Amino acid sequence: MELKGRDLIAYRAARFLKDGDMVNLGIGMPTKVADFLPEGVEIFLQSENGFIGIGPTPSPEEWDKDVVNAGGQPSSILPGGACFDSCMSFGLIRGGHVDATILGALEVDQEGNLANWIIPGKMVPGMGGGMDLVAGANTVIVMTDHCTKKGEPKILKKCTLPLTAAHEVDYIVTELCVLHYNGEGLVLTELAPGVTVDEVIARTEAKLIIPETIGCMI
């Protein structure tokens, strides 16, 4: 199977996860990560509306009206799952019990800042649990197309949109590369097959730190 585009992003993001991790996947593209887990890695998915153990999407006949995921869509709870209230749920998130959160971005920058909850004047959905997740999860992994649909950079020197959290991003995974925020800047740690350093630099507004050796995403 040739991995590219969002499949490649999901494949690589899944490789950050370790067996036994509790993980929170954001709405949309991040849910694909569950399809690309390495052999032998079992993770526990948290749904911040109140349970651990997200199972497969049920058929309409099997759906339990009291079980939805954090996107409000019908979901199921695996054997061994646990239900709780919102204080417990976000206590787990802020308290260091969620090993990783994987979520999308509108913008991300070289200071580890993430903006993904509002476009003033256009979109007012609210931050939901996003701010708590990015501030609280042990590892914050952003998965995003490298540029916007118009080809404009999403990985910037400085976010222009209101932030979700400041300096909290650990990794950015795109179809071109993996970037690691090391507390000082963004390090280009891996490239997608066939992609060059120059190509990444050309499509990134942020200043990148280029180490001597760069790995491959696959």
Partner 1 sequence: MAKSKVVSPSEAAKLLRDGMTVMMGGFTNVGSANKFVLEMVKSGLKDITLISNDAGNDKFDGIGTLICQKRVKKLIASHAGLNPQVAVQMNAGELEVELVPQGTLAERIRCGGTGLGGVLTPTGIGTVVAEGKQIINVNGKDYLLETPLRADVAVIKAWKADEFGNLVYRRAARNFNPMMAMAADIVIAEVEEVVPVGEIDPDMVMTPGVCVDYVVKM
3 binds partner 1, rule: CB under 8 A: no
C-alpha dihedral (193, 197, 202, 207), degrees to nearest 10: 130
**Using CA atoms, how far apart are residues 195 and 218, in angstroms rounded to an integer?**
12
Nearest CA among 161, 157, 73, 147 for reference residue 117: 161
**Using CA atoms, how far apart are residues 205 and 195, in angstroms rounded to an integer?**
17
Nearest CA among 167, 30, 35, 41 for reference residue 109: 167
Q: Decide: 188 and 162 in contact? Cβ < 8 Å.
A: no
Stretch that binds partner 1, among 42-50, 145-153, 183-191, 198-206 (CB under 8 A): 42-50
119 binds partner 1, rule: CB under 8 A: no
**Using CA atoms, how far apart are residues 175 and 167, in angstroms rounded to an integer?**
23
Q: Decide: 175 and 8 in contact? Cβ < 8 Å.
A: yes
Which one of 3, 34, 37, 127 is in contact with partner 1 (CB under 8 A)?
127
Stretch that binds partner 1, among 9-17, 127-135, 185-193, 207-215 (CB under 8 A): 127-135
184 binds partner 1, rule: CB under 8 A: no
Q: What is the per-residue binding string for partner 1 in 162-181, x denoting contact by CB under 8 A?
A: xxxxxx--------------
Q: What is the smallest separation between the CB atom of 19 and partner 1, expressed in angstroms?
A: 26
25 binds partner 1, rule: CB under 8 A: no
Tell me which amino acid residue 204 is: T
Q: Decide: 171 and 139 in contact? Cβ < 8 Å.
A: yes
183 binds partner 1, rule: CB under 8 A: no
157 binds partner 1, rule: CB under 8 A: no
Three-state DSSP at 76 gives coil
Which one of 37, 131, 147, 208 is in contact with partner 1 (CB under 8 A)?
131
Which one of 3, 83, 208, 214 is in contact with partner 1 (CB under 8 A)?
83
48 catalytic per annotation = yes
Q: What is the smallest separation between the CB atom of 132 and partner 1, expressed in angstroms?
A: 4
List residues with catalytic annotation: 48
Site residues for partner 1 per CB under 8 A: 47-51, 64-68, 72, 75, 77, 83-87, 89-91, 93-94, 113, 123-132, 135-136, 162-167
